[in-house]
Structure 1
Amino acid sequence: MMHAEIRTALQTLNVPVTFHLYEGSDDTYITYVQYDESGQMMADDEEKSTNLYFQINVFSKSDYLSLVKDVKEKMKELGAIRRSETDLFADGYYQRSIRFRFTQYNE
């Protein structure tokens, strides 16, 4: 459910956005992936709400702190709770991986 909403929100940041793997050549881009899903609240033997866990990865060859801030703001607007984030460097790219939790209420 959240995939389309996440993609749409991130595309407003004017950098390439792709699910899981980016195959372009831009100096800055964003990938996202859902890494977990679990029942959050149960009642009457039914799952009333579900937690969806996504990781947003910001890659850049230069300063990306402003973009990271914008990503966090976009996810907050969608109702996400930030769980953790970490910095990495590989293949000439700085990478900030940010993990979020969304709670989906089931009918």
Structure 2
Amino acid sequence: MSMNSLIINTLKPLGVPVKLLKHKGPEPTYISFFEYNQNGALHGDDQELKSGHYFQVDIFSKSDYTDLVQQVKDKLKAIGFTRTFETEFYEKDTDFYHKVIRFNFVQ
């Protein structure tokens, strides 16, 4: 299973659209994500033994998304992701609250 499929399948039960890179639709709450870095995480005998994958998950909502943010973190941590960064914004032009969470995953 690809990393993208793993994230989509893990977050799908939350009941909001989950899309790679961008979402087009009328939903008042949605999740998008992308991989912003990938590199060797473990090497041995001049070979890459494990890869590090670094993802940003963006949660957009017109209302309070506190519970959804926690559910996203819990679901991704449960399958081995580690949270490395988190911040939030208010997007004036679209009237969305925007939570940014970055994770890494070693495979």
Provide TM-score, normalisation by structure 2. Answer: 0.95
How far has the Cα of 1:2 moved from its partner?
1.3
Partner of 1:86: 87
Partner-residue secondary structure (3-state), 1:12: helix
Q: Which amino acid aligns with 2:58?
A: N
Partner of 1:101: 104
- Which portions of structure 1, spanning 4 or more consecutive aligned residues, are displaced by more than 2 angstroms? none
Q: Which amino acid aligns with 1:67?
A: L
Q: Which amino acid aligns with 1:82?
A: R
Note the 1:43-58 alignment, pairs <5 A: 43-58=44-59
Note the 1:35-50 alignment, pairs <5 A: 35-50=36-51
Q: Which amino acid aligns with 1:88?
A: F
Question: Structure 1: which 5+ residue stretches go unaligned?
Answer: none
Question: Structure 2: which 5+ residue stretches go unaligned?
Answer: none
Count of matched residue positions in the alignment of Structure 1 and Structure 2:
104
Provide TM-score, normalisation by structure 1. Answer: 0.95
Q: Which amino acid aligns with 1:53?
A: Y
Q: Determine what percentage of the aligned residue pairs are the same residue.
A: 39
Q: Which amino acid aligns with 1:45?
A: D
How far has the Cα of 1:23 moved from its partner?
0.5
State whether structure 2 residue 34 is matched by structure 1 residue 28. Answer: no
The whole-number CA distance in structure 2 between the counterparts of 1:45 and 1:65 is: 45
